[in-house]
Structure 1
């Protein structure tokens, strides 16, 4: 039972790390889009 719990924890940690990375990329793209929009005005 202990090895499967370790695998579960590692999988959860990787999932959370991926979510933070995707969130950061989304924020970068959003800020770049805002800058382009301001420049177009």
Structure 2
């Protein structure tokens, strides 16, 4: 039970963190791609 609580509590923090990280990475990729094109 304690383990399940830790996992669910961790995923609550992990999912938004991973989402913002992916967004930042995709923004960097777009910036790099546009710089290569220019």
Structure 1 unmatched runs, 5+: none
How many equivalent pairs are there? 38
Separation in 1, partners of 2:36, 2:7: 44
- Structure 1 residue runs of 4+, over 4 Å off? 3-7
**TM-score, scaled relative to structure 2:** 0.71
